[in-house]
Amino acid sequence: MAADGKVSRASEGDYADLVERMFAFCGDDLDEANALFKRLVELRKRRSATIRDVLGVKNMWHLGPSPEWPLTVLIIDEAHTYFREYKGSDATTKQLGALTAENARLVEDLVKKGRSVGILVILISQKTTGDAIPTFIRDVCPIGLSFAQKTVEAAVAALGEDIRNWPDASPVTLQDPAYVGVAVMAMQGRPGYTRIRTPYVSDTDAARIADATSHLTADPAFLLDALLDTAGRTAPDDTPVPLNK
């Protein structure tokens, strides 16, 4: 699933050819994004409440994903769209501010508690400063990754203060065209930084793969319902959010 803050509907933007491979999508509408995040938090709560009984473990990664309990990935692109602070006393501004504050709380829940039950959140922004991605979310993400940056400050925002001590690994050194597709990665529990190169995949190939695998797309909440029914258990219902095309 994806929330793309630079478009209004799924037929626009970078994910237009990929949306059939997603069980849900929203654009820059804050109400729709809020409903989507609530939906996924509800799934997280249900998985957390049932994982021991259903899978026999408290961490899904002890077994790995399965068709009945799939890895669920939430991509939040142009993340600042959903978290920015609105300042003003008029009713509209207050409503927008309340939505973005709740969005931040919901995503914090997913980042902190979702990994062990198979929910992965990927936050994307051109500059991951605290006003784009709140620090209480950014600082609990276990992996930081940055493509080329123009300033050390931007590198620090993406990778942490320690990148100042590794100037040769800094993404500010990736400005040359030879480094297109190269990023610097920071991982918890591992000293220093690692450079990775991401292979180029054309839009045509990405669309072809998404179309060829679209039959695998399923709402994980419905899969959980089926799994619980098979096991003779019940859990609270999710409120579905329609796919916005």
Per-residue tens of pLDDT for the chain, all 245 residues: 999 999 998 888 899 999 999 999 999 999 999 999 999 999 999 999 999 999 999 999 999 999 999 999 999 999 999 999 888 889 999 999 999 999 999 999 999 999 999 999 999 998 888 888 999 999 889 899 999 999 999 999 899 899 999 999 999 999 999 999 999 998 777 788 999 999 999 999 999 999 999 999 999 999 999 988 887 765 544 444 444 44
d(Cα 129, Cα 120) in Å, to the nearest integer? 21
The most distant pair of C-alpha atoms in the chain lies apart, rounded to whole Å, by: 59
d(Cα 6, Cα 16) in Å, to the nearest integer? 12
Q: Strand locations in 90-214, DSSP E?
A: 119-124, 143-146, 182-187, 194-197
- Interaxial angle between packed helices 220-231 and 30-55, expressed in degrees from 0 to 180 and rounded to the nearest 10: 30
